[in-house]
Amino acid sequence: MTGVRIHSTLTKRKEPLEASPDGTVRIYVCGPTVYGRIHIGNARPYVVFSVLKRYLERRGLRVRLVSNLTDVNDKIYDAATAEGVGSAELAERYSTAYIEDTGRLGLGRPDAEPRVTDSIPQIIELIAALVDRGLAYAAEGGVYYRVERFPGYGRLSGRRLDEMVAAEPGPGKESPLDFALWKGRKPGEDTWWDSPWGPGRPGWHIECSAMAESALGHGFEIHGGGIDLVFPHHENEIAQSEGAHGGCMARIWMHNEMLELGEEKMSKSIGNIAPLADVLDEWSPEVVIAFFLTSHYRSKLPFTPERLADARAVVERFANVLRALDRATAEEREGHDPDLSRTIVEGRDGFFRALDDDFGTPEAFAALFEMVRGLNRAIDAGRAGSGQLREARRELVGLLDVLGLAGIDRGPAAQAPDEVMRMVARREEARAARDFAGADALREAVRERGWTITDTPGGPRVEPA
């Protein structure tokens, strides 16, 4: 037992997270279909599960995180045709772009990122096993799954068979509910493989069953992804994997909610998207991460400039206290503040307690804000010695690092150049002469050079923007 509880979509309650027999927590997350640059909504599961891994590792657990790339798909064929390039070329281009765009977040890579095109033998083997068990059948060059032969189909999504409609069209299907495991090659499809059922390529759902099993085995700890994948994708994964092997595919099914733009979820098919690369051109990685994590992963999240500005304020709050600590420890001094010690311990305990409880990142931030308030009080009181303040600083940065926010720590505050300091002095003269328009213009000139002015009772404080 790990002491962590995660809400499972399958059971509709928080379940204790248990590591595998060798002490590893294995996590599979459905990645993108690479037919275009990913949007900011696609980045939510990437951030959530990357940070979940960081947290579990901080708790001393071994974690293996696997996230796939779907690089053969109807959408890829369509996009390649529209661009006048081969489907393999287009998929490779956007696979590279996906790795570049998510890499800018600074959260590290999953331990494995398998691609469908590299997993065809495993996919064919799994389909063959389902055919041998009577759960799948060949028809006119394709292979379909017999949904009605899998007991409990619909238990993840809560849907009943008599409420479902046809999954997808297909020649030779026995039932409208059956879904494709292998699709026969169509004219114009330039990416295909030979199989026992004829030339073609995998259906969408079978690929994740095969890649998850190949990378993590059967019965791993957490299967993750966006809530929009619950049906039919994850429902079908369960039918495939458990139909072939029995037992459970994954012990916990963990789903993040969608981003919203206006009244609708963000979606490429709707066209209301903001590419992740464009967002990162405007906002720092730390702001984007804080934007996601200050809301609970199971809450819908509006994507608005106001929400991003709020996240930037959160980042600046941490940056400000780190700079204040640097100033306070610039000169060595003795002392001990028992209130600060208590604040640090309580903040750390609250941080871990929040993340143990269904990855409660908003409550974890609340615990960090309490630490910031305590640090500011300690700096103002002047009782804490340099050593105690440095240790408190290390503790805060360590917790920020768990959330992927250690980049907020830019080190000791830099000294503003002489040109900037002369502008600050002229601004003080303008304020004394009640030339407020001139003072505002000088503040803006300082800001354009990458510095901010904060007016304090002791005079202006100049810090990196």
pLDDT at residue 445 is higher than 70: yes
Q: What pLDDT score does 167 carry?
A: 66
Residues 42 and 106 in one domain: yes
Identify the CA nearest to 56 among candidates 30, 8, 24: 24
Residues 79 and 164 in one domain: yes
pLDDT at residue 313 is higher than 60: yes
Number of domains present in the structure of the chain: 3
Is 2 contained in some domain? no
N- to C-terminal Cα separation, the chain: 44
DSSP 8-state secondary structure symbol assigned to residue 229: G
Residues 397 and 430 in one domain: no
61-94 as b/e: b if 16+ CB within 10 A: bebbbbbbbbbbbeebbebbeeeeeebeebbebb
Q: What pLDDT score does 419 carry?
A: 79
pLDDT at residue 40 is higher than 70: yes
The per-residue pLDDT for range 136-185, each reduced to its tens digit, is 999 999 999 999 999 999 999 999 887 776 667 778 899 989 999 999 99
Q: What pLDDT score does 184 carry?
A: 94
Residues 152 and 127 in one domain: yes
Residues 402 and 428 in one domain: no
Residues 209 and 128 in one domain: yes
pLDDT at residue 266 is higher than 70: no
Neighbour tally for 428: CB within 10 Å: 16
Separation of alpha carbons 3 and 42, rounded Å: 29
Mention every residue, 6+ apart, whose C-beta is less than 8 A from residue 257: 226, 227, 297, 298, 299, 300, 301
pLDDT at residue 84 is higher than 60: yes
* Confidence band for 412, pLDDT divided at 50, 70 and 90: very low
Asked whether the CA dihedral 367, 372, 378, 384 is positive or negative, the reply is positive
Taking each helix axis from N to C terminus, what angle separates 43-58 and 285-293, rounded to the nearest 10 degrees?
A: 80
The per-residue pLDDT for range 356-384, each reduced to its tens digit, is 999 999 999 999 999 999 999 999 999 99
Residues 32 and 133 in one domain: yes
Q: What pLDDT score does 413 carry?
A: 43
Is 120 contained in some domain? yes
Is 294 contained in some domain? no
Last-in-domain residue among 282, 312, 345: 282
Domain containing 55 — which CATH number? Answer: 3.40.50.620
Residues 269 and 160 in one domain: yes
Residues 39 and 77 in one domain: yes
Identify the CA nearest to 124 among candidates 138, 113, 140: 138
Is 221 contained in some domain? yes
Q: Residue 365 has which token pair?
A: 């931030």
Residues 35 and 165 in one domain: yes
Is 296 contained in some domain? no
Q: 430 is in which domain, residue-wise?
A: 418-464
What mean pLDDT do residues 300-313 have? 95
401 exposed, middle or buried (CB, 10 Å; 0-12, 13-18, 19+)?
middle
Is 437 contained in some domain? yes
Distance of CA 427 to the CA centre of its chain: 44
* Confidence band for 458, pLDDT divided at 50, 70 and 90: low
Separation of alpha carbons 167 and 179, rounded Å: 6
Separation of alpha carbons 235 and 255, rounded Å: 13
Residues 73 and 211 in one domain: yes
Last-in-domain residue among 366, 388, 408: 408
Is 225 contained in some domain? yes
What mean pLDDT do residues 311-325 have? 93
Is 72 contained in some domain? yes
**Residue given tokens 């294995």 in the structure block:** 26
Residues 427 and 403 in one domain: no
Domain containing 394 — which CATH number? Answer: 1.20.120.640
